Homo-oligomer: A and B are copies of this chain.
Amino acid sequence: MTLDEVRDLARRVLAGAGLSADHAAAVAETLVAGERDGCGSHGVYRLLVATRTIATGRVSTDAVPVVREPAQALVRVDGGGGFAQLAFERGKPLLIEKAKAFGIAALALNNVVHFAALWPEVEALTDAGLVALAFTPSHAWVAPAGGTEPVFGTNPIAFGWPRPGRDPFVFDFATSAVARGEIELHRRAGKPVPDDWGYDAEGRSTTDPAEVLAGAMRTFGGHKGSALAAMVELIAGPLIGDRTSRESIAADEGAGASPLGGELILAIDPAGFLGASVAEHLSRAEAMFAAIEGQGARLPGARRYAARRRSLAEGVQVPAALHADLMALTTGDA
């Protein structure tokens, strides 16, 4: 399929599920980006996750995001219980404007449903020449270091750094040991997971993926990853007046919908500190990237960008069974 065909399919599935045209277009763009970059689990496959969440009735299909300016360098978007993508799109122009005006600015998305990766958002800010960080809690699935009961979400951290004339330096990772979807894939395949991915509901280490899903996942990197997971809870939860992961899963009441809560995005304008010397100092960063790649190590995102170039030239391959499932959703047959 060409990327235009993927976009059209995604929009039709989302519209068929009841999303307003604005929301369908914004969500589709994120899924096309995932498919284009070879992120199978964050591509059109996610349409199944999105439509399942819509079917629970726990996401607003036509919420109109409301943009506010609570302080001079802060932007706050109330997403009205809709998907995060449209709220981000509506807040982004003012975030960029404020970052360039003040040197640094922050955007809080409130009351939004999250089911997608954060890297498209930080990448969009690098396109404007900004350095960006994004954080969001999810549902309480992850135990703190030293404990075995879920407190944190998978709490991703994403970072973007503009590289003039090149793909930006972008990473986006869960602070859990692995993505939750990875454990679900093991469960479906009937395969055990390593015993350091999580605990069962009694707090014992286990290799049974179903027990980890019903118990608690671990953070990555021991107490350091746990500290970062706590930070994400705090700065993308209480700091912006929104839910922690425990509050999000409690509010879900077992419906199995995607997390509903907040997201915090920071943007810094390199010209703020550097003035006319931006190009000179960005070249220091390039020297560091060269030192990494020169020893055969990969930069985060390198695999995505390689897939992107292939997809833009050749299109993408969507498995026939998934395509059939998605086509059925466009006609309301599913």
Contact = CB atoms under 8 A, between A and B. Distances in A.
Interface of A: 70-74, 76, 101-106, 108, 131, 143-149, 151, 157, 159, 161, 169, 171, 173, 175, 220-225, 227-228, 230-231, 233-235, 237-241, 243-244, 246-247, 266, 268-270, 272-275, 277, 281-282, 284-285, 287-288, 291-292, 295-298, 300
A171 B227 contact: yes
A155 to B, nearest CB: 12
A310 B277 CA distance: 50
A296 B146 contact: yes
Contacts of A71: 102-104, 269, 272-273
Contacts of A145: 297
B151 A104 contact: no
Contact of A238 (B157, B284, B295): B284
A239 B221 contact: no
Given A149-B295, A238-B281, A244-B284, 18 more contacts: A70-B273, A71-B102, A71-B103, A71-B269, A72-B103, A73-B272, A74-B103, A104-B105, A151-B295, A173-B223, A173-B227, A221-B221, A234-B285, A237-B285, A237-B288, A239-B270, A239-B281, A246-B291
